[in-house]
């Protein structure tokens, strides 16, 4: 499990600001942002963005509402609108597509996850994987 090695390395950095990236900033990165924010409860800055933002997928919103996380007010953001100053860690979540590039001094990690399809089950699967990884990452917070 490469992601666990990455998580251990991220823990050793003790980041203050984490950015999740995927292409559209509509599902994976939005869900990661919502889950991480709930876990860290303001102790770490958490953002998400994409290289070709669209809109937050309603199925991503639904999948997180099932675990009492509301991202219905989230909106898709372009990666170049994120101020690179202060971002310690960037985690890319894209799998089959080309990941966005983030310019800055942040340490980069890749946690490739499949882009959910148009069925709620695929969003739940990605959600559950993100919950597992982010719970492990932030277990000491």
Is 103 annotated as catalytic? Answer: no
Scanning 52-119, the segments in alpha helix (DSSP H) are 58-65
Six token digits for residue 83: 């101020």
Instruction: Check residue 115 and report its DSSP letter.
Output: P
Q: Is 30 exposed, middle or buried (0-12, 13-18, 19+ CB in 10 A)?
A: buried
The residue annotated as part of the active site, out of 18, 22, 27, 63, is 22
**Separation of CA 101 from chain center:** 15
The residue annotated as part of the active site, out of 18, 19, 93, 99, is 99
Is 99 annotated as catalytic? Answer: yes
The residue annotated as part of the active site, out of 64, 94, 134, 137, is 94
Is 94 annotated as catalytic? Answer: yes
Catalytic residues: 22, 94, 99
């Amino acid at each position: 499990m490469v992601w666990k090695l990455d998580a251990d390395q991220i823990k050793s950095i003790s980041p203050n600001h984490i950015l999740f990236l995927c292409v559209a900033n509509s599902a994976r990165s939005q869900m990661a942002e919502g889950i991480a924010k709930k876990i860290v409860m303001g102790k770490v800055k958490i953002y998400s963005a994409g290289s070709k933002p669209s809109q937050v997928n309603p199925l991503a919103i639904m999948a997180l509402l099932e675990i009492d996380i509301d991202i219905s007010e989230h909106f898709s953001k372009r990666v170049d609108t994120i101020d690179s100053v202060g971002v310690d860690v960037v985690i890319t979540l894209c799998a089959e597509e080309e990941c966005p590039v983030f310019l800055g001094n942040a340490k980069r990690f890749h946690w490739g996850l499949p882009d959910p399809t148009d069925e709620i089950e695929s969003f739940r699967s990605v959600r559950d994987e993100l919950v597992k990884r982010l719970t492990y990452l932030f277990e000491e917070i």
